[in-house]
Chain A
Amino acid sequence: MNILVLLKQTFDTEERIRIENGKISEEDVKFIINPYDEYAVEEAIRIKEEHGGEVTVVSVGPMRTESALRTALAMGADRAILVHDESLSGIEYGDEHTLSKILARVARRTGFDLILAGYMSVDSGAAQVAPRVAEELDIPHISAITGLRIEGNAVVAEKDMEGNKAVIEASLPVLLTAQQGLNEPRFPTLPNIMRAKKKPLEIWTVADLELDFGSIQPKTAVAEQYLPPPKPAGRILEGSLDSQVRELAQLLKDLIS
């Protein structure tokens, strides 16, 4: 089975955000594989281990993304593709329209039976790119899955539907997005980290993809980024526990009725 994993490198979730000159500062930031994409990588490797095949991880982004792709290779992916060139950094990698057009083109180039991705990225949080890629490729998608079985030529996925658990099936090819709880991603072992250095990591440009630059121009623009105003210090209640609880209940009275 030919499995494609869409991956984004993001800030570690324990990072604070700093803004310098209107832009989010990347200085001294620890980068990780977007946690939801990490579940997708892990699931792809498990499917390969059980059913055979090849796992290709794909990303669009700056050169620092190489380290996230290397980590995915160390986890057990076979091949990595990073789409990067100056025209893309010039438009700051565009928006979800841009990214999905590029990723869909990569998918057509590499071929695929199954595409896995995170259900959203913890930075932008739009949850758009993966379903858009499915639409561009004219294949179905099942989002935010928490369980997966391959049955012959079909996938059987479990997902949480805001209170209910649904079991949904689809024939290949299909795109699935991973929700937390799908699996427990492995840590790459040292020998596998060494081995990953020799695995193929290709850098592709927009020109390599024969994409018309006009067709991937963003459809949205960021006007401003800012931090929320700091919250004024709250009040730690004092006195006996009894009186604290009574006071708190009074303070919240208007909110609860």
Chain B
Amino acid sequence: MGRQILVMAETREGGFRNVTFEALAVARRLAGDGKVSAVLIDNHADSALTEQLARYGADRVYVVKHPGLEHFSVDGYTQAFNQILRQLAPDGIIIPHTAVGKDLAPRIAARNGYGLVSDVVKVELAGDDVVFTRPIYAGKAFQKKKITAAPLVFTIRPNNFGPVEPDPNRTAEITEFPVSVSDIRTRIREIAQSATKGIDLTEAKIIVSGGRGVRSEQGFRVLYELAEVLGGAVGASRGACDAGYAPYPMQIGQTGKVVTPDLYIACGISGAIQHLAGMSNSRTIVAINTDPEAPIFKVADYGIVGDLFEVVPMLTEEFRKILG
């Protein structure tokens, strides 16, 4: 059995977001004998980019270029994506659950009267049935959902599927798809770098996170140093954000971001239920806290009872040695 699957490819700073390759991997599984098509909305797209989509599983790539699509806008992207969608009438649509995807997917679904399952972390095929698993209550529980009428439209959470091994010999049919874009009702006045620099938390493989125990904005410096050595991102608990030690975009928890990195290092975080909800599905969790009774130790794989201002710099030094 074959399904035609359409994937929204997402670029960031000239390359693809990793979740794009994950979406292609899921698409391949769903497609069976059918074709996987990728939509690449990018005025600067070149053959290096489109070839990458082919290697990771796309059979067709629709490249969309339009002066009205230089920057992301809900209206522009919805119009462009919808025009391709109408022409292809796919059996499934996969969109990354990112800032762009969260804006685009519900508009596409509502415009066409589709059901949509958001923030999927697992896709199971059982005969003709497709079952989607997604976290609820920020991961305190999970639900399995089905879509009762075709097409299968869903967004996938970054970092949960893993891409397929790219095949350097795979090729795809590349088509420039002409779209008409008009009446964009939002206008970007300015874009500026903000406090959360570096790696996006939801896609980071390693996160060093600080809580009230970090005690000040300056206290986060030791966390940044560790994160830098590890190539990771820095997060914070609600306690740390409410106290003004870290800006809200860094907050991890049921309010804030839900993260599932390979390694989560919690420093000076006691482990309130709402914080645990946002990180307890991380693959390996390390807790560093002076209080041996802190609930964070209950979800940690490894714990060190000690002062983070002593332990973290030592750990940074040790990793520096290991990584040479």
Interface on A for B, CB 8 Å cutoff?
11, 13-17, 19, 24, 35-36, 95-97, 100, 122-132, 134-136, 139-144, 146, 156, 160-171, 174, 179-181, 218-228, 231, 233-237, 241-242, 244-246, 248-249, 251-253, 255-257
| 4 pairs of A and B residues whose beta carbons are closest in the complex | A219-B115, A135-B110, A140-B185, A181-B248
Decide if B1 is an interface residue (CB 8 Å cutoff). Answer: no
Alpha-carbon separation in the docked complex, A128 to B118 (Å) = 8
CB contacts under 8 Å to A, within B87-145, are 98-99, 102-103, 105-107, 109-111, 113-119, 131, 134-145
Interface CB pairs A-B, < 8 A, 17? A125-B136, A127-B118, A135-B110, A140-B186, A144-B99, A156-B189, A165-B191, A165-B193, A166-B188, A179-B248, A234-B300, A234-B303, A236-B305, A245-B311, A245-B314, A251-B302, A256-B322
Known: A15-B273, A170-B186, A246-B318. A235 touches B303 (CB 8 A): yes
Contact yes or no, B186 A135, CB < 8 A: no
Q: Which residue of A lies closest to B71 (CB)?
A: A166
Which residues of the partner chain A approach B310 to less than 8 Å between Cβ atoms?
241
* B167 nearest CB across to chain A (Å): 25
- Collect the chain B residues with CB atoms within 8 Å of residue A169's CB: 186-187, 189
Are A234 and B285 also in contact (CB < 8 A) when A95-B115, A246-B318 are? yes
Which B residues are in CB contact (< 8 Å) with A181? Answer: 247-249
Query: Given the interface contacts A123-B137, A256-B206, does A231 sit within 8 Å of B280 by beta carbon?
Result: yes
For chain B, which range describes its interface: under 10, 10 to 19, 20 to 34, or 35 or more residues?
Answer: 35 or more
B272 CB–A CB distance under 8 Å: yes
Does B75 sit at the interface, judged by CB under 8 A? yes
Task: Return chain A residues, CB-CB under 8 Å to B118.
Answer: 96, 125-128
Structural contact, B185 and A220, CB atoms closer than 8 A: no
> A122 contacts B141, CB within 8 Å?
no
Number of A-B contacts (CB under 8 A): 264
Would A131 and B99 count as touching, CB distance under 8 A?
A: no
Within 8 A of A (CB), among B177-221: 185-194, 196-198, 200, 206
Cβ of B149 within 8 Å of any chain A Cβ, yes or no, is yes
Additional 12 contacts, C-beta under 8 A, given A141-B74, A162-B99: A16-B273, A97-B116, A128-B116, A163-B196, A164-B192, A167-B191, A171-B185, A219-B116, A222-B144, A224-B143, A249-B322, A256-B319
A255 to chain B, nearest CB (A): 5
The answer for the CA separation of A224 and B142 in the assembled complex, in Å, is 8
Q: A13-B274, A233-B298, A242-B314 are in contact. Are A165 and B192 (CB under 8 A)?
A: yes
Which residues of chain A are near B274, meaning CB under 8 Å?
Answer: 13-14
User: Cβ of A221 and Cβ of B145 under 8 Å apart?
Assistant: yes
Nearest Cβ in chain B — how far from A254, in angstroms? 10
- Bound together, the chains give a CA A227 to CA B310 distance in angstroms of 37
In angstroms, how far is the closest chain B Cβ from the Cβ of A2?
19
> Contacts A127-B106, A245-B311, A248-B286 known; A161 to B191 CB distance under 8 Å?
yes
* Docked complex Cα distance between A141 and B63 (Å): 26
Q: Is B145 in contact with A97, judged by CB distance below 8 angstroms?
A: no
Report whether A13 and B255 are in contact in the complex, using a CB–CB cutoff of 8 Å: yes
